[in-house]
Amino acid sequence: MTQRTPDRPSGRPGGPVVPVLAFAGIVVAVMQTLLVPVVKDLPRLLDSAPADATWVLTSTLLSGAVATPIMGRLGDLFGKRRMLVVSLAVMVVGALVSAFTSDLLLMIAGRTLQGVAMGAIPLGIGLMRDMLPRERLGSAMALMSSSIGVGGGLALPAAALVAQHSDWHVLYLGAAGLGVLAIALTLVLVPESPVRARGAFDLPGALGLSAGLVLLLLPASKGSDWGWTSGTTLGLAGAAAVVLLLWGVMELRVPAPLVDLRTTARREVLLTNLASIMIGVSFFVVSLVLPQLLQLPTETGYGLGQSMVVAGLCVAPLGLTMMFTAPLYARLSARYGPRTTLILGLLVIGAGYGGGLGLMDAAWQTVVTSVVLGAGIGLAYSSLPALIVGAVPASETGAANGLNTLMRSIGTSVSSAVVGMVLANTADTAGGVAVPTMHGFRLSFLIAAAAVAVGLVLALALPARRPSERLRLRASSEEEANLERARQALQGFGGRVLDASGAPVARARVTLLDRHGRRAGATVSAADGTYALAVPAPGPYVLAARAPGHGPLASPAAHTGDGDRVDVDLALPPETVTA
């Protein structure tokens, strides 16, 4: 069953849309970060073994990874605002469960529900693309993409203050209150997007992806506890490879897949997603290293002896700087394109980690490192949704950005596992307690710098655009997006829609069907009857046209993929009137 996609968004999104959606992203980040100040105390607080207590964090990671692409696809099919509210509501329920229990299993269940909110980021980006005018879209998506860092930076000192002076359960009550406020603001101030994808929800694909991600992320997050060469770790990793391979084969055969792997395999999308993993690695390293360095006692000879709250304040500029780079990103991207801003961001991150190797002797030095890294990560994160949006149809925005957000999450998971292993293997034992060493901190920074170098190579491999072809961010229907891409690239079909007498037909709907009968694009003709449609790949197609007062037309056509536009005029027959 298909759903109609209106030509224009209903309603007029006003000024509050962007801050409301960004606030929803910040709330999600707060939920993720609020446990950081009490992580080391979780075994005591939950009366459990340390290995069991880590499931409180692992459960959120797993559910967030599973929910992100699924919520993105559901948003494309049934409404992005609707699914944004659903994801926030599930988070609120999970926060309330955690707020009123100290039982390990119930706490894990609550944290699992909270992870569902990770889908808010791609849903928010999708809403912005569908509704905002193009001149506002660049900075808006940059702010939404950076909201994870902003929320984390703000939450660290606030959560530390609450944990230090109150019952730690208050953290969850605060998160629930913020979630309720985000839901209310979204319902009142954010209109629903009318853009819909065609087809049904791919339940087998969702189950297959969920199984593959759980099998993949479990050994990544628990490998240090189980042993990286243990049978459990290696067995789960091998099972993940098999399940994800079978899932990919199945998705290629489904008419309306959860993730369009053909679109994902496009050079621009694939390289952007791989670069996102590297950026996720670099983002999380600083969040793991600096708080520990700041709180270690000065008796170690290198610890800075700061309180939990001060440590949070010193790292907070990481997120705040990410927020302030959003307007800068919009100006740079408008002039040079998101590929250039991604490269610039990675260079700044590399400079931050390189300089940070020698800036570990005082609290103010960690602030400098946080500011530089925040600026670089903000530029890099802000570039990712623009690159994805420019490479996929509007009806796939939610799913595509959901997959990109998942890639970042995989990066942070890998970072957590690798840095945790490095710090554990380089730690000194004093009185039965493992104490991280300066060697371990610096080695972690070097690992982050290496990830940035890989990300830079991937970014440089992205296709460069000439100024006339540079990405124009737009907030329009799928038809207008396809028309704009075809006009820019001149690779596809074009021509005029005419009536039986040869006069132009305006607002005729032209649909591109591939050889399997699946829709590959759609547009509407202009006032002079002209139309343009981009093609996803060379091959045979059918151009189907219809307009009120005229009969339908289906015209076969073929494109060789040589970069030129194939001109096909579509002459609509007279409307057949039946008695």
Higher pLDDT, 516 or 484: 516
Amino acid, single-letter form, for residue 192: E
pLDDT above 90 covers a percentage of the chain that reads 13
User: Which residues have C-beta within 8 Å of that of residue 488, sequence separation ≥ 6?
Assistant: 468, 469, 472
Q: 215-240, pLDDT tens digit by residue?
A: 887 887 777 778 778 888 889 889 98
Query: Measuring CA to CA, how many Å separate 555 from each of 138, 313, 383, 478, 511?
Result: 38, 64, 39, 21, 11
pLDDT band at 61 (very low <50, low <70, confident <90, very high): confident
Q: 25-54, pLDDT tens digit by residue?
A: 888 888 877 877 777 777 888 888 776 777
Query: What number is the average pLDDT over the span 89-95?
Result: 94
Query: What number is the average pLDDT over the span 11-21?
Result: 69
pLDDT score recorded for residue 372:
92
Residue 548: CB atoms within 10 A of its CB come to 9
pLDDT band at 514 (very low <50, low <70, confident <90, very high): confident
Higher pLDDT, 57 or 447: 447
The β-bridge relationship of strands 509-513 and 570-571 is: unpaired
The C-alpha angle 487, 490, 494, rounded to 5 degrees, equals: 75
Please say if the pLDDT value at position 489 is more than 60.
Answer: no
pLDDT score recorded for residue 94:
93
Higher pLDDT, 157 or 493: 493
pLDDT score recorded for residue 176:
93
Give the DSSP per-residue string, 359-423. --SSHHHHHHHHHHHHHHHHHHHHHHHHHHHTTS-GGGHHHHHHHHHHHHHHHHHHHHHHHHHHH
Q: Which of 495, 579, 500 is nearest to 543 (CA)?
A: 495
Q: 364-374, pLDDT tens digit by residue?
A: 998 999 899 98
Q: 235-281, pLDDT tens digit by residue?
A: 988 998 999 899 888 888 887 777 777 777 778 888 888 998 898 88
Which domains are seen in the chain, by residue range?
17-202+254-465 (1.20.1250.20), 478-571 (2.60.40.10)
Distance CA 400, CA 263 (A): 9
